[in-house]
């Protein structure tokens, strides 16, 4: 198909597709002449993936490029690709650090029996969160971590099972991306639903019954 059809089928403007081509988020089409190229269904699929990451995941163009790089690297293990993706999905910030927070994370990992170097991305991200919590006067926040871990374990099993349920390795890698990006968004929404349900119930215990109100 030509670029106009790619645009029509994906709903992405031609100018934006050209931009993604320039930025390396989409591979160039197959040139049939100096100024004609053909695009395949793979392009359409990749384009949709890019849009999902940008719009739903809120990733920057640079982050998307990094994720796609991990996805396209045939050398990369699933394990490594997952790390790259996790790092790309989260804000690049980290900023805050703090002795106590560092120790809280160390102790948490020990309790969970998890092994992880303090230099890894996920470790630093967690230290950043706890340090920030302490800055705003919520050192108690660290108490929630074990609950998070209890919830995260089965989720990780599901994620990984989902990824491994795919056929080829390429599909598995893509499942990791989808599982991470969409998974984070879905988890946030489901958490909001659960909280809403629970606080609605608590509220109903005090006030006359009323179905879940809009917000």
Site for DNA, rule CB under 7 A: 2-5, 13-16, 18-19, 21-22, 28-29, 31-37, 39, 54, 60-62
Q: How many helices (H) and strands (E) does the chain have?
A: 9, 2
Residue among 79 and 168 whose Cβ is closer to a copy of itself: 79
Q: Are 174 and 76 in contact (CB under 8 A)?
A: no
Residue 14 to residue 20: CA distance in whole angstroms:
10
Residue 63 to residue 68: CA distance in whole angstroms:
9
Out of DNA, a copy of itself, none, what residue 28 binds, judged by CB under 5 to 8 A for its kind, is DNA
> Interface with a copy of itself by CB under 8 A: which range of 16-24, 25-33, 61-69, 130-138?
130-138
Residue among 35 and 209 whose Cβ is closer to a copy of itself: 209
Out of DNA, a copy of itself, none, what residue 44 binds, judged by CB under 5 to 8 A for its kind, is none
Residue 201 to residue 111: CA distance in whole angstroms:
33
Out of a copy of itself, DNA, none, what residue 137 binds, judged by CB under 5 to 8 A for its kind, is a copy of itself
> Interface with a copy of itself by CB under 8 A: which range of 15-23, 25-33, 50-58, 61-69?
50-58
Residue 69 to residue 75: CA distance in whole angstroms:
11
Minimum distance between the CB of residue 180 and DNA, rounded to whole angstroms?
A: 18
Residue 85 to residue 71: CA distance in whole angstroms:
9
Residue among 19 and 121 whose Cβ is closer to DNA: 19
Residue 63 to residue 47: CA distance in whole angstroms:
15
Residue 104 to residue 127: CA distance in whole angstroms:
8
Nearest CA among 108, 135, 111, 136 for reference residue 122: 108
DSSP annotation string for 101-119:
HHHHHHHHHHHHT----TT
Out of 33, 115, 167, 168, the residue judged to bind a copy of itself by CB under 8 A: 115
Minimum distance between the CB of residue 26 and a copy of itself, rounded to whole angstroms?
A: 14
Per CB under 8 A, contacts with a copy of itself among 71-100 are: 77-80, 82-84, 86-87, 89-91, 93, 95-96
Give how many residues touch a copy of itself by CB under 8 A: 93
Per CB under 8 A, contacts with a copy of itself among 164-193 are: 165, 175, 178-179, 182-193
């Amino acid at each position: 198909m030509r670029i106009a059809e790619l645009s029509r089928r994906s709903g992405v403007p031609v100018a934006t597709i050209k931009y993604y081509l320039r930025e390396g988020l989409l591979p160039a089409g197959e040139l049939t002449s100096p100024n004609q190229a053909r695009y395949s269904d793979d392009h359409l699929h990749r384009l949709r993936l890019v849009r999902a990451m940008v719009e739903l995941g809120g990733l920057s163009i640079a982050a998307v490029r990094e994720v796609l790089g991990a996805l396209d690297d045939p050398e990369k293990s699933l394990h490594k690709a997952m790390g790259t993706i996790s790092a790309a999905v989260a804000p690049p910030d980290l900023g805050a650090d703090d002795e106590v927070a560092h120790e809280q994370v160390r102790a948490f990992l020990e309790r969970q029996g998890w092994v992880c170097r303090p230099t890894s991305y996920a470790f630093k991200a967690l230290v950043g969160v706890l340090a920030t919590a302490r800055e705003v006067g919520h050192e108690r926040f660290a108490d929630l971590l074990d609950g998070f871990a209890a919830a995260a374990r089965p989720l990780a099993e599901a994620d990984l099972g989902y990824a491994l349920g795919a056929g080829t390795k390429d599909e598995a890698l893509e499942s990791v991306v989808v599982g991470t990006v969409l998974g984070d968004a879905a988890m946030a929404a489901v958490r909001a639903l659960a909280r809403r349900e629970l606080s609605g119930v608590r509220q109903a215990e005090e006030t006359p019954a009323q179905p879940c109100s809009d917000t």
